[in-house]
Amino acid sequence: MKKILLLIACLSAASFLSVAQSAKAPANTPVKPADSSATKKPASKAKSYDQVITKDAKSKKGLFTTHQIGDKFYFEIPKKHLGKDMLLVSQIAKIPNGLGGGYVNAGTSSHEQLIVWEKFQEKILIKIKSYAAVAADSLPISLSVKANNYEPTLYMFDIETYSKDSSQVVIDITKFYNSDIPAMSGLDATLRETHKVKNLDASRSFIRSIKTFPLNIEVLQDFTYNASKPSATPYTETLSMQMNQSMILLPEKPMKPRLFDQRVGYFTQKQYDYSSEELKSDQKTYIQRWRLEPKDMAAYKRGELVEPIKPIVYYLDPATPVKLRKHMKKGVENWQKAFEVAGFKNAIICKDAPTAAEDPDFSPEDIRYSVIRYVASTTRNAIGPSVSDPRSGEIIESDIIWYHNHLRSYRNRFLLETGASNPNARTLDTREEDIGEMMEMVISHEVGHALGFPHNMGASSSYEVENYRKADFTNKEGISASIMDYARFNYIAQPGDQGVRYIRKMGPYDDYAVNWGYRVLPDAARPEDEVPTLDKWIEAKAGDPRFRFGNQGTTFDPSSQTEDVGSDPVRASTYAVKNLKYVAKNLADWTSKKTNDYEDLIELNDELLSTWSRYVGHVTTMVGGVYEQYAKPNQGISSYNPVPKASQQAAVNWLLANAFSNVDWLINKEVVTHHMAGYTDRIRSLQVSPLNRMLSLETFARLDNSGLTTLNNYKTIDLFQDLRGGIWSELASGKNIDQYRRNLQKAYIERLKALMTDQAPASTAGVPNGPARESYPVAQSDVRSIVRGELKALQASLALAKSKYADKEVRYHLDDCMERVNLILNPRK
């Protein structure tokens, strides 16, 4: 019976559908399937266009037509733009004082994401799209890629109406831009927690403006939050800021990407390509770069310099002090020479921002403009971020951030690092020409980041140490092979070295890297077709240290360090410390005795201690150090080579003589008597840091590995024996043990105790064997055996030494050290 009733129901339904279809269309006329993108009349429930977009609307045409009616805003979206890739960039426009601790400011980009607008039934969705995994649409696997990379929906809108010709959909975007959406906010979870942000106050938040242009839309939001700990005016419990939301239509045809090669430094964009016929997905890594295309390709092929179709243009923030603008412009346009090596002239230009009369729509937050932002902040830094197309690595826009107080840090370092040999640096009133050149080079460095270049920390080790004392060499080559290194000043030149250059400049690596990444290869149809030519360019420079890229991320390569210059850290730091002693002796004469105030002296003396610590750190890296050289198999060279034994022993001896003893010169009595409490502990901390770094599991792991490639290697036991002999040298001689040495000796015992007793495995970060590094098995290694032997040897030396000292403080120290060693070897139950 049930089957009969079911059959009747089905026949009735079929009959109903047949009647309905015949009523809608003549016989034999096929019924078209629903098509969300086809032109059609709006659904009956939708209002007419004139009912939504009334005569009171203030309308502007652009990428989307925008309408404002009272406090409501509408987008009129052409259907042709549905499904098109767009970039949504959220940028801080105005910010309260103190928010983010100095590195969050006007111009900071908080979010950057690729979006598409899609129609689903009578809704419009914003989907966040990813190109992390891709496959050719023609391949079946593309279905799986889409299924396993489903895109999140950022927001959903009701369709309010359609344009009169039905080619555009109209949505109300007021709530979207008035809402506190995490994916577009300038406040991340940390900032919200720090300032105890409760919620967005809708009554005090609003859309300030919406501007539409042919390829982009700019929305300025004014947001006020209830926050119990705002960064400024705490009594108000209010945090207000402005956000700019830039949405730009990406090119229909992405720029042809260029495959990354780790032998040349570039920021990158990664994809997993499932189109490969190999037995795995291909990870493809593309460099980030601007789209530079020759105006005259025929002339370009002939080797002539050609202007690009669209040059890279930077605008100066109107807030930039007038006297600094020429230096900023020069810093940007220093890169023109490098682009000429790649075949382009006038490829990068810097201009003043247009006035309101010249362009009333100009805004530093507008994604069409790259701007050097001048930020009123006490932060001493500058940064060069950029926005790029995730499909190809094409850089779309960048904002260089210059913080107002940054030049003070350069004045201080100029005095400390070059004052011994450079009379022009021995002042608090640095010459304008020197300050201007420093600023110019900082801007060049930050523009380099915005062009796609990361730090190249290997560039400053390209030149022999003695060359830094020669005027002809330094004036021609500078102090580093690249502006992208942290080599700021020539701290090696000695008093009496005449005419040397002290301030960094652009180098040969910069020309080389621009040519490698930006030169157009018109005959290469695919990125893979470019690789043979790109490889030849690299191999032609192989063996020349000026063209080597040194990764900033290494902690073990003494030829790839921050803030260093010269190919030999021991020799360079010897000169550097000698200079710093001269500066320390004269620092009061150059500061407080001139100003009758201790502020600058105290500030500079604190930085002097940090400078000394840097020089010590450069030598410390030699111990357990490994030279890293990126290479392909056909080059026939080793990627990792341990620092030779003799060089490591020389580094340890230098540290024993310059870091672990003879530090009295660091004590500035004028500072101690007028300001600095805890000075002794500061020295202790600066000495203990390199000691612990040498006696780390990371160092032991590298020393172990070095024995696999060479027989005459510096071993862990060599390090322990050298350190014990040096740090405890007084025990054999009976020489006085001052407070700094006593502190260091106790720190040595505490470090050995940690190696003997710590149960938790320590990370071996810095071991050059790939990212998947296991924890160093200290309990199963020779380390504890060596430590036990060294403690017993120290125990015997302490027992013999006690009778040599009459000083009660020293005797107590030795008794304490003996007891500490005994407790490590024979812990109490």
pLDDT tens-digit series, residues 435-483: 999 999 999 999 999 999 999 999 999 999 999 999 999 999 999 999 9
Indicate the helix (H) or strand (E) that contains 206. strand 206-212
Alpha helices in 57-202 (DSSP H): 141-147, 174-178, 189-194
- Contact status, residue 446 vs residue 384, Cβ threshold 8 Å: yes
For residue 479, give the nearest of 456, 449, 459 by alpha carbon: 459
92 exposure class (CB count in 10 Å sphere: 0-12, 13-18, 19+): buried
The owner of tokens 């915005």 is 450
Euclidean distance between CA atoms 716 and 304, whole angstroms: 58
| Angle between helices 569-590 and 406-418 in degrees, nearest 10 | 110
pLDDT of residue 763: 40
The DSSP-derived string for 750-810 is: HHHHHHHH--SPPP-TT-SS-S-PPPP-GGGSSHHHHHHHHHHHHHHHHHHHGGG---HHH
The owner of tokens 């939301």 is 245
Between 172 and 670, the higher pLDDT residue? 172
Instruction: Please give the model's pTM, rounded to 2 decimal places.
Output: 0.87
> What value does the mean pLDDT of the chain take?
89
Euclidean distance between CA atoms 736 and 224, whole angstroms: 65
Strands in 630-773 per DSSP E: 640-642
Instruction: For residue 9, name the pLDDT band (cuts at 50, 70, 90).
Output: very low
Percent of the chain residues past pLDDT 70, beyond the cut: 92
Euclidean distance between CA atoms 658 and 783, whole angstroms: 26
Instruction: For residue 4, name the pLDDT band (cuts at 50, 70, 90).
Output: very low
DSSP assigned state of 820: H
Which tens digits make up the pLDDT trace of 698-725? 999 999 988 888 778 999 999 999 999 9
pLDDT of residue 574: 98
Q: How much is the CA Rg of the chain, to the nearest whole Å?
A: 33
pLDDT of residue 804: 87
pLDDT of residue 15: 40
**What average pLDDT does the segment 298-311 reach?**
97
- The token pair that represents 323 in the structure block: 């006297």
**CA dihedral sign, ordered 616, 622, 623, 628:** positive
Other Cβ atoms less than 10 A from the Cβ of 164: the count is: 11
pLDDT of residue 829: 66
Euclidean distance between CA atoms 97 and 103, whole angstroms: 11
pLDDT at 768 over 50: no
**116 alpha carbon, distance to own chain's centre:** 28
Euclidean distance between CA atoms 694 and 700, whole angstroms: 8
Euclidean distance between CA atoms 302 and 320, whole angstroms: 41
Euclidean distance between CA atoms 537 and 544, whole angstroms: 13
Other Cβ atoms less than 10 A from the Cβ of 496: the count is: 7
